[in-house]
């Protein structure tokens, strides 16, 4: 088995060592395209050379640390974006900025306030041609979710000029 680099095998030291152990058990040769790493993989564990195991595990531990750092940066960035804008990516929730969508959701709220069920509200909107963003009919569940999500939108933060 040829790896571009050892950290491509696994980003967890425990998984890396388990997979390597299983591969060596079935007498599979594991090689790295990185010559600096290849020495620590090619012959497997050697009880007479514990340094080989140590270096390989340090490389695996560094890969695990790097992956944890990436997760931390992504999670922190998502939290900052949610705090600033209310969502962290993907398609913007229905009715958050689009005026037509906001009008449809306001109409849905008014119909609900008049006592209509979610199903009847969705049917009424569909009959009027007030469809989802995709142009397809509303279902009661989708309409309820869109209205509730729009109600949960945080206020936009003040921008200091």
What is the pLDDT at residue 108? 97
What is the pLDDT at residue 154? 59
Cα distance between residue 142 and residue 115, in whole Å: 18
Give 154's contacts (C-beta < 8 A, 6+ positions apart). Answer: 83, 86
- Residue 161 confidence (pLDDT) above 70: no
Q: How confident is the model at residue 88 (pLDDT cuts 50, 70, 90)?
A: confident
Whose tokens are 């944890």? That residue is 68
Q: What is the DSSP letter of 31?
A: E
CA distances from 23 to 13, 47, 64, 69, 88 (A): 15, 17, 20, 29, 40
pLDDT in tens, 27-86: 888 888 988 888 778 777 777 888 888 988 999 999 999 999 999 999 999 888 888 877
pLDDT in tens, 95-145: 888 899 999 999 999 999 999 999 999 999 999 999 999 999 999 999 999
What is the pLDDT at residue 129? 96
Two tokens, residue 109: 């709220």
Contact indicator for 142, 94 with CB cutoff of 8 Å: no
Q: Is the Cα dihedral 128, 132, 137, 139 positive or negative?
A: negative
Whose tokens are 């999670």? That residue is 75
The chain-wide mean pLDDT, for the chain, equals: 87
Cα distance between residue 137 and residue 62, in whole Å: 51
Q: Which of 61, 62, 23, 63 is nearest to 44 (CA)?
A: 23
What is the pLDDT at residue 159? 40
- Residue 153 confidence (pLDDT) above 80: no
Contact indicator for 91, 117 with CB cutoff of 8 Å: no
What is the pLDDT at residue 157? 46
Cα distance between residue 103 and residue 107, in whole Å: 6
Q: How confident is the model at residue 155 (pLDDT cuts 50, 70, 90)?
A: low
């Amino acid at each position: 088995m040829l790896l571009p680099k050892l950290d491509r095998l696994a980003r967890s030291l425990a998984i890396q060592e388990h997979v390597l152990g299983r591969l060596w058990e079935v007498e599979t040769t594991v090689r790295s395209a990185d010559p600096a790493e290849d020495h620590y993989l090619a012959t497997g564990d050697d009880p007479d050379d514990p340094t080989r195991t140590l270096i390989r595990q340090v490389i695996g531990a560094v890969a695990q640390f790097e992956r944890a750092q990436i997760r931390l940066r992504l999670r922190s960035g998502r939290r900052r974006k949610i705090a600033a804008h209310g969502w962290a990516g993907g398609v913007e929730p229905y009715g958050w900025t689009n005026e037509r969508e906001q009008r449809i959701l306001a109409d849905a709220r008014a119909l609900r306030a008049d006592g209509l069920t979610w199903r009847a509200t969705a049917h009424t909107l569909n009959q009027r041609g007030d469809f989802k963003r995709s142009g397809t009919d509303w279902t009661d569940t989708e309409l309820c979710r869109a209205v509730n999500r729009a109600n949960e939108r945080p206020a936009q933060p003040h921008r200091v000029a």
